[in-house]
Amino acid sequence: MKKILLPAIFSCIAYISSAQTPSFVSDSLNNYIKKGMKEWQIPGLAIAIVKDGRVILEKGYGVRNMNKPEPVDENTLFMIASNSKLFTGTSIAKLDYEKKLSLNDPVTRYLPWFRMWDSTTTRLISLRDVLCHRLGTKTFQGDFTFWDSSLPRDSILWKLRYLKPPGTFRQDYGYCNAGFLTAGQVLQQVTGQTWEHYVQENILTPLGMSHTYMNTAGIQQRSNVAAPHSNMFSPLTVLPFDQVDNLGPAASMISNVADLTRWLRMQLDSGRFEGQRILPWEVLQKTRDANITVNSRKNNNYPIHFITYGLGVYAADYNGRQVYWHTGGAFGFVTNVCFVPEEKLGIVILSNNDNQSFFEALRYQVLDAYLGVPYKNRSRFLQGFAAKNRKETEAGLKQLQQRVDARNSTPVPLDAYTGDYYNTVYGRIRISKRGTNQLSCSFQHHPDLTATLEYMDNNTFRLTYSNIGFGVFPAVFTLKNGKPETVQIKATDFIEYDAYLFARDPQGLMIR
């Protein structure tokens, strides 16, 4: 995945000078990555490091697909997911700089029909609010409805009125993908261009990011693309590619480390790239200014005391330097883009297994090396948490299997559970009989997704999604007068933390 700027003939890795490059990077990084990928079961990974205006490392490791031999290189494409957000925040900041809108404008100035749960938030909510996760919603709230769904963009925004925020508007941080979609729809109203066209014209093309794509549609047909993998609920397996273009401004971009080094070099040179002004410095400043505090307590494991969020980017102190970064997660992919302007240092890491923290350990390890933090094996430290989570997941799956294997009888005939169930936020699911002893669930807004339900006990079925990335969970029915009335359905926390309650009577629903 990487290319090196010095004699690439001799090595895929090149360093500008041993005096400028920490020994960990020059001597140990290669083996650290190979070992970490093996321990975390990562098929493929790409990393790039930018220092003092130059790309000192571009390299790919492993394979694009566990079932095929094609190697990852610096041009291999990955879904960068939420690393799309800073492109959206930068675009809105540019329009603010040009006086074509204001970050403090209410959303309803541009989308008069836009509504949140309560009238006060609806009246006050601004572009700045939707770009910094301070709407009061819970992290990922609504995403089971929105992610990988067939809902059009405006339909997603319409459904925001049904999300009851557990937090306080402008006080509580809650990560909200639909907020960035809102900003993208406002951008279209103001410019007459789609979000995709605007970012391409104003950022990607001027930077020469010719192998970065705005949408997920058709990703599997592109050459040199990494396949998504997971081992969260099964042995390591290849997953379907997410289709999240309806959430585009929050999550749909595809890129590689070669292109993203251009983005980093521009960030580290105050908006310039190879001597040419791409964006005004004031635009970048607006994206980095703190709009909400994410955490203000000292971290016991890293030299961090605070974390804030700007417009599509996090900021923190790290051993006395100001660090900016964002992670991106889609089914089968986790990524990180990070830059430290005071050190003229940038890091990008792309990987194709979503059930691992090595991509974060690797970023911290590189930061430690450049910022003078004594060496600690960050991967080994995070493996302790991962092992605990993996053990809990495996125990949970084993328990569900044992309950299925008990072959208990349902309290009412299987046919009684069939029919349509409704949730205010999601809409409809349909439960049908499958064979003689199973049920099947289809989802109104996820036409390619189904789930199999196998009875366990206490009106509870084991629900297994056809896309194993969504997980395996209990689905609990309630009965009224001997007839199933509601069912509670959950997907992985990677999508949304809370379960959804679906009811037969759409007039009697609860929101969750």
Domain boundary (349, 371, 388) is at: 388
User: Does 367 map to a domain?
Assistant: yes
Radius of gyration of the chain (CA): 24
Which run of H or E residues covers position 284? helix 281-288
| Mean pLDDT to the nearest integer, 103-131 | 98
- Cα 254 vs. chain centroid, distance in angstroms? 12
- Convert the pLDDT of each residue in 473-495 to its tens digit: 999 999 999 899 999 999 999 99
User: Does 393 map to a domain?
Assistant: no
- The total number of structural domains in the chain stands at 2
- Torsion sign, CA atoms 326, 367, 342, 16: negative
User: Does 426 map to a domain?
Assistant: yes
| Mean pLDDT to the nearest integer, 211-224 | 96
Kindly list the distances between the CA atom of residue 142 and the CA atoms of 84, 149, 292, in Å, as whole numbers in the listed order. 19, 12, 21
Domain boundary (337, 353, 388) is at: 388
271 and 359 together in one domain: yes
Other residues' Cβ atoms within 10 Å of the Cβ of residue 381: 14
Whichever domain contains 448, its CATH number is: 2.40.128.600
70 and 206 together in one domain: yes
227 and 369 together in one domain: yes
User: Does 403 map to a domain?
Assistant: no
- Convert the pLDDT of each residue in 367-421 to its tens digit: 999 999 999 999 999 999 899 999 999 999 999 999 999 999 999 999 999 999 9
Whole-number pLDDT of residue 506: 67
- Cα 83 vs. chain centroid, distance in angstroms? 8
User: Does 473 map to a domain?
Assistant: yes
User: HSE (CB half, 13 Å, CA atoms) of 205?
Assistant: 7
**CA angle (293 as vertex; 290, 296 as ends), nearest 5:** 120
Other residues' Cβ atoms within 10 Å of the Cβ of residue 300: 6
Contact 350, 46 (CB under 8 A): yes
**CA angle (268 as vertex; 174, 326 as ends), nearest 5:** 20
Q: For 334, which DSSP code?
A: E
- Cα 122 vs. chain centroid, distance in angstroms? 26
275 and 143 together in one domain: yes
Q: How confident is the model at residue 507 (pLDDT cuts 50, 70, 90)?
A: low
Whole-number pLDDT of residue 389: 92
35 and 87 together in one domain: yes
C-alpha to C-alpha distance for 293 and 309, rounded to whole angstroms: 7
C-alpha to C-alpha distance for 47 and 337, rounded to whole angstroms: 10
Range of the domain at 123: 23-388
C-alpha to C-alpha distance for 305 and 317, rounded to whole angstroms: 6
User: Does 3 map to a domain?
Assistant: no
228 and 112 together in one domain: yes
420 and 381 together in one domain: no
Whichever domain contains 175, its CATH number is: 3.40.710.10
Q: Which of 219, 234, 246, 207 is nearest to 87 (CA)?
A: 207
- Convert the pLDDT of each residue in 282-317 to its tens digit: 999 999 999 999 999 999 999 999 999 999 999 999
- Convert the pLDDT of each residue in 429-451 to its tens digit: 999 999 889 999 999 999 999 99
Look-up of token digits 């093996």: 38
Residue 1 has pLDDT above 70, yes or no: no
Instruction: Identify any residues that bridge with 419 across adjacent strands, giving them in sequence order.
Output: 431
379 and 419 together in one domain: no
441 and 336 together in one domain: no
366 and 422 together in one domain: no
C-alpha to C-alpha distance for 219 and 338, rounded to whole angstroms: 25
- Supply the DSSP string of 448-459, one letter for each residue: EEEEEEEEEETT
52 and 107 together in one domain: yes
Residue 460 has pLDDT above 60, yes or no: yes
- Convert the pLDDT of each residue in 18-72 to its tens digit: 447 999 999 999 999 999 999 999 999 999 999 999 999 999 999 999 999 999 9
Contact 341, 267 (CB under 8 A): yes
245 and 305 together in one domain: yes
- Supply the DSSP string of 364-429, one letter for each residue: HHHHHHHHTPPP--HHHHHHHHHHHHHHHHHHHHHHHHHHHHT-PPPSS-GGGG-EEEEETTTEEE
Domain boundary (342, 371, 388) is at: 388
User: Does 399 map to a domain?
Assistant: no
Whole-number pLDDT of residue 20: 78
Exposed, middle or buried by CB within 10 Å (0-12, 13-18, 19+), for 3? buried
Instruction: Specify the 3-state DSSP secondary structure of 92.
Output: helix
Look-up of token digits 């983005």: 263
User: Does 5 map to a domain?
Assistant: no
Other residues' Cβ atoms within 10 Å of the Cβ of residue 394: 11
